A and B are shown apart, each in its own frame.
Chain A
């Protein structure tokens, strides 16, 4: 089973709202990732968690706040977003380590109004 789930599928939020994206995997993976993907562009890495600790933050603005409550869950808290933050937000997971394959969830389509 290579399933990563994400909720919600779609989210529309105003610039003053606070919302959260959720990601879950039950493959026993110990690395989880957040990516942002704009139309006709490849995914851009935002954050990497390894063994529930934040390992990489790709200079993401503080209005995006990741959280990894346990080895199966990954959240992305959103606050005071801008319209240019509208994108497909993808969660992925993998075994820890460099050679591991990453499996993506279906994504959350975010629109900031």
Chain B
């Protein structure tokens, strides 16, 4: 059973702080890793993807991947109240298709 694990939260951070979201996965052959942001009642929005070990930065977001330890993380710098949402970690297994296994999501609350 391929699994993706996330803390459900909520993770509460003050405005301006760094929010750190973590995700572990069980399929060692996984090739691609995604972070989606989902506001209540809305659809998931792709915010970051990473394929190689190391860090990938895009604006206030940094994705970190460590395949040896089978974890991927998302850092959000200078957190804003508008970042308050559920963050879904998704992993694509080594299946030949871009199918996604999602974690259950971490709710982030950024207080003003």
Show the binding face of A for B, using Cβ within 8 Å. 2, 31, 41-43, 45, 48, 50, 55-56, 88, 90, 94-107
How many inter-chain contacts with C-beta < 8 Å in the A-B complex? 61
B88 on the interface (CB 8 Å rule)? Answer: yes
Query: Could you say which interface size class chain B belongs to?
Result: 20 to 34
Nearest chain A CB to B94 CB, angstrom units: 7
Interface of B: prevailing SS: loop
Show the binding face of B for A, using Cβ within 8 Å. 31-32, 34, 36, 42-46, 49, 51, 88, 92, 94-100, 102-105
Q: A42-B88, A42-B103, A42-B104 are in contact. Are A102 and B98 (CB under 8 A)?
A: yes
- With a CB–CB cut-off of 8 A, which chain B residues contact A98? 31-32, 92, 94-98
Instruction: Pick the residue among A41, A97, A107 that contacts B43 (CB under 8 A).
Output: A107
Q: Of all chain A residues, which has the CB nearest B98?
A: A100
- With a CB–CB cut-off of 8 A, which chain A residues contact B46? 2, 101-104
Interface of A: prevailing SS: loop
Nearest chain A CB to B17 CB, angstrom units: 25
Q: A31-B97, A48-B97, A88-B43 are in contact. Are A99 and B102 (CB under 8 A)?
A: no
> Judging by beta carbons under 8 Å apart, are B92 and A99 in contact?
yes
